[in-house]
Amino acid sequence: MLSPADLQALWLTLELAGLTTLILLLGGTPLAWWLAHRRGRLAALLESVLALPLVLPPTVLGFYLLLLFSPRQGPGHWWQALTGHTLAFSFFGILIASVIYSLPFVLQPLVTGFRQQGVHYLHAAATLGATPWQRLWSVALPMNRPHFIMATSLGFAHTLGEFGVVLMVGGSIPGVTRVLSVALFEHVEAGEMIQAHVLAGLLLGGALGVMFVVNSFRRRGAHAVL
């Protein structure tokens, strides 16, 4: 049913979505913690900036990334000096793009979760002798589980379907940057409708599956956290 090229695109997409989500969870959790417990202008400004990818058209982001990745200056230049490759047209480049683009989808549920918790239970834990690390690990994180599930699912699903940004900085290189959504686009443009249907069906099925997971935990989460 799937051509070898499309199968390759599928694995690549799963790899990209998985890595992006993992990076965002590891980096996003402490960031969400900080944002949830901080007041003041700096935190508010940062939160707004980090939410930008929600409303930014992907082409705008892709455009700026293309400039950022350019080996003529800045990060693109350092990367080329370090590795001999450009950031554009590389897996690492689209990984960066995915992390930026899916950031709010992972960060926002986490921030909401931590914020809803407030400090009450953390105070209780402190008076029982819990160190700050224990408070995070044994109270804040487990209490936030429904939101973690949501953040993981949304981040993963969003990256699965990512198209515009990858198209602009990826270069559709098989096995490196030709993700499922780009493969689908190419099939449609080339008039290969059967393959297009297969890939679209896959993406739709994947998204549906993820949202099902999200909603079932959201329902459960409403009871779990009193």
The stretch among 10-18, 24-32, 42-50, 162-170 that binds another protein (CB under 8 A) is: 162-170
The span from the CA of 44 to the CA of 182, in Å, is 36
172 binds another protein (CB under 8 A): yes
Regarding 171 and contact with another protein (CB under 8 A), the answer is: yes
Question: Which runs of consecutive H residues, i.e. helices, occur in the chain?
Answer: 4-37, 41-55, 58-69, 74-83, 91-117, 120-127, 132-134, 141-143, 145-160, 164-170, 180-189, 193-224
190's enclosing H/E stretch is: none
Q: Which is nearest to 114 in space by CA: 61, 85, 151?
A: 151
Site membership for another protein, residue 112 (CB under 8 A): no
For 199, phi and psi rounded to 5 degrees?
-65, -40
Binding another protein (rule: CB under 8 A), the pick from 24, 29, 69, 96 is: 69
User: What Å distances lie between residue 226 and 73, 138, 207, 222, CA to CA?
Assistant: 52, 17, 30, 8
* Nearest approach, Cβ of residue 151 and another protein (Å): 17
One of 33, 89, 91, 92 touching another protein (CB under 8 A): 89
**Interacting residues with another protein between 39 and 68 (CB under 8 A):** 66-67
User: Does residue number 205 form part of the binding site for another protein (CB under 8 A)?
Assistant: no
Of 27 and 112, which CB lies nearer to another protein in the complex structure?
Answer: 112
Q: Which positions touch another protein (CB under 8 A)?
A: 66-67, 69-72, 76, 86-89, 120-121, 123-132, 134, 138-139, 142-143, 145, 167-169, 171-174, 176, 185-186, 189-190, 223-226
